[in-house]
Structure 1
């Protein structure tokens, strides 16, 4: 409880909070993470190819049918709902305290909870573009198409999800926005991330504020640097903080 009290107090004292999150932010919404013991990379050993290989640009270009079979079955969770962390962050933004969410997630749950300033480092499953003509398609179109590989009705080009695959660079505008937000924050809350995926994990090094909070079930390379470390479910933690603050 002391850690909850401390986090609530720091949030109350802060006016420029940034949240940096990863897959662990959404596990309580029923979306598996990648690198934990129960994560996608550990449990999907029966697949014909390693998940990391199937989520690469070269694999997508070479075997789009296999990519989309895996993508639809393992990466899309259209019925997932925001959990206590997503909802609390949205409330902090509405209160003028939280200035940005920087996320490695592609599920769109922060926006679903009401957050407006969300910097999606790895893109979003809710945006899809034709590789031929650039036409936009939403997630519903990808889910509803009868063909294994979704193609544009206008030009027959492959419709690619606007997600950053392995071997692809991050969007520079989003990356610069994340650097700017983190460097200006007075409180950085890091949650649900192993801090091992580069270059996203290096973004926390731009923080120049006074307090860093790390909420993660498993140890990370950043544990020693955190001013407050809470190894508990992030949604439950944020719900407790919400009750403490009465927002």
Structure 2
């Protein structure tokens, strides 16, 4: 049987679907991932430091000017639009079949497509707060700031994106809710992730449902454990599913 057709049947039979995704879900929206051959970490562009270093908490504190230069130029994609993957998942949620999207992404495209129960393990570029007073600032306010390092006009505190940097811990409430969602699911869809970033990748081990489906263009260490493996671009696959399921 065709793999997409098989997945469509599994989705029709499922009552509690959870999607666990990473950067690969947004590449078809024009946002580069991190670890693929064309990813941000493989860039041949001359950088003053490695991306991993510049995206660490200690570097952010010591060199905020360099951090924000890299962050604004490489991490922010305000014009990106949801693709077939985001739209399909939102439709499944509206049907009541998809209970949660657990994502490592920070781009907000799942919400832009209409998803509501989105658990953002690594935060979001759309939330920013003053490190002194805690005042909230939108992505647009951060991007439109005339200062290299955005500052709070109230008290001059530095504005930090609510993005989990290296050396920072994930939000415990988000982890607990993600574990609950995954452990209660009867179908787990895993897409666009290398499954190498921990502790996020370890959350899929809490799934004990009927089927695990892995949608990824590149091999992962979890391939042999999946009940179904699809290597076509995830946005295209989800668009085909939407057609077959009439969504």
| 1:194-233 matches, cutoff 5 A | 194-233=194-233
Q: Which residue of the partner structure matches residue 143 of structure 1?
A: 143
Residues 106-143 of structure 1: per-residue CA shift (max 9 Å, x gap): 00000000000000000000000000100000000011
Matches within 5 A, 1:19-98: 19-98=19-98
Question: Matched residues in 2 for 1:176 and 1:232: separation?
Answer: 31
**Cα drift, residue 180 of structure 1:** 0.2
- The CA distance in 2 between the partners of 1:22 and 1:232, in whole Å, is 15
1:162-220 per-residue CA deviation (whole Å, 9 max, x = no partner) reads 00000000000001000000000000000000000000000000001010000000000
Distance in 1 of aligned mates of 2:197 and 2:45: 21
Distance 2:9 2:210 in 1: 14
Q: Deviations over 1:45-84 (max 9, x none)?
A: 4101000000000000000000000000000000000000
Q: Which runs of 5+ in 1 are unaligned?
A: none
CA distance in 2, matches of 1:189, 1:44: 33
Aligned-residue CA RMSD in angstroms?
A: 0.7
Instruction: Indicate the residue corresponding to 1:104 in structure 2.
Output: 104
Q: Quick one: distance in 1 between partners of 2:72 and 2:232?
A: 30
Per-residue deviation, 1:40: 0.1
Give the TM-score normalised by the residue count of structure 2: 0.99
In structure 2, how many angstroms separate the alpha carbons of the residues matched to 1:7 and 1:63? Answer: 47
Q: Report the secondary structure of 1:38's partner residue.
A: coil
- 8 Å Cα contact 1:44/1:51 also seen in 2: no
Q: Which runs of 5+ in 2 are unaligned?
A: none
CA distance in structure 1 between the aligned counterparts of 2:69 and 2:143, rounded to whole angstroms = 11
Structure 1 residue matching 2:170: 3-state secondary structure: coil
> How many residues get paired?
247
- Which whole-Å CA distance do the structure 2 matches of 1:145 and 1:31 have between them? 23
Inter-partner Cα distance in structure 2 for 1:44 and 1:227: 37
User: Residues of 2 paired with 1:242 and 1:228: CA distance?
Assistant: 18
The 2-side partners of 1:44 and 1:213 are apart by: 33
Q: Find the counterpart in structure 1 of residue 15 from structure 2.
A: 15
> After TM superposition, what 4+ stretches of structure 1 lie above 2 angstroms from structure 2?
none
Task: Return the TM-score normalized by structure 1.
Answer: 0.99
